[in-house]
């Protein structure tokens, strides 16, 4: 028995890729928008608690650890103080267990370096 009609060509089933690419790009944009892009603190800190909810002003952020170490970005010690004092105001993120003498000495040195305003950053009390 001979066939009168030629066999119908079979087309390869091709899944549409464009919708999948759209979903991937939407997920990528979502994760980029919701991700925290701030670098981690250079020193481990536990901030003191405060009942005040006043927002801190903008300025260079200086870190004071519980053992008295000082950091500003990748700088440590006196270099960190000098670099942070380049602006008129400094945000001080001091550990709640930092010695009061270290905090007082740091504030004195910042004043001598020309800092006009120091804001101590705290976290809201529960």
Q: Which domain holds residue 119?
A: 57-124
Indicate whether 37 belongs to any domain.
no
Residue 10 has pLDDT above 80, yes or no: no
Residue 25 has pLDDT above 90, yes or no: yes
Indicate whether 99 belongs to any domain.
yes
Tens digits of residue pLDDT in 74-99 = 888 888 888 887 877 888 888 888 88
Indicate whether 20 belongs to any domain.
no
Residue 67 has pLDDT above 80, yes or no: yes
Indicate whether 119 belongs to any domain.
yes
- Please give the pLDDT value at position 27: 95
Indicate whether 46 belongs to any domain.
no
> What is the 3-class SS of 73-121, one letter each residue?
CCEECHHHHHHHCCCCEEEEEECCCCCHHHHHHHHHHHHHCCCCEEEEC
Residue 24 has pLDDT above 90, yes or no: yes
Indicate whether 85 belongs to any domain.
yes
Please state, in angstroms and rounded to a whole number, the distance separating the CA atoms of residues 74 and 85. 15
Indicate whether 42 belongs to any domain.
no
Indicate whether 112 belongs to any domain.
yes
> Bridge partners of 117?
89
What is the residue-averaged pLDDT of the chain?
A: 81
- Please give the pLDDT value at position 21: 92
Domain count across the chain: 1
Residue 71: in which H helix or E strand, if any? strand 70-72
């Amino acid at each position: 028995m001979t066939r009168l009609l030629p066999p119908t060509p079979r087309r390869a089933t091709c899944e549409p890729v464009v919708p999948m690419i759209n979903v991937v790009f939407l997920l990528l944009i979502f994760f980029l928008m919701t991700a925290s892009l701030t670098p981690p603190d250079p020193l481990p800190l536990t901030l003191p608690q405060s009942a005040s909810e006043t927002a801190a002003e903008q300025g260079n952020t200086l870190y004071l650890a519980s053992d008295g170490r000082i950091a500003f970005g990748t700088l440590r010690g006196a270099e960190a103080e000098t670099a942070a004092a380049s602006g008129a105001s400094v945000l001080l993120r001091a550990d709640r267990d930092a010695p009061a003498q270290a905090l007082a000495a740091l504030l004195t040195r910042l004043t001598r370096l020309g800092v006009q305003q120091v804001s101590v950053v705290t976290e809201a009390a529960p």
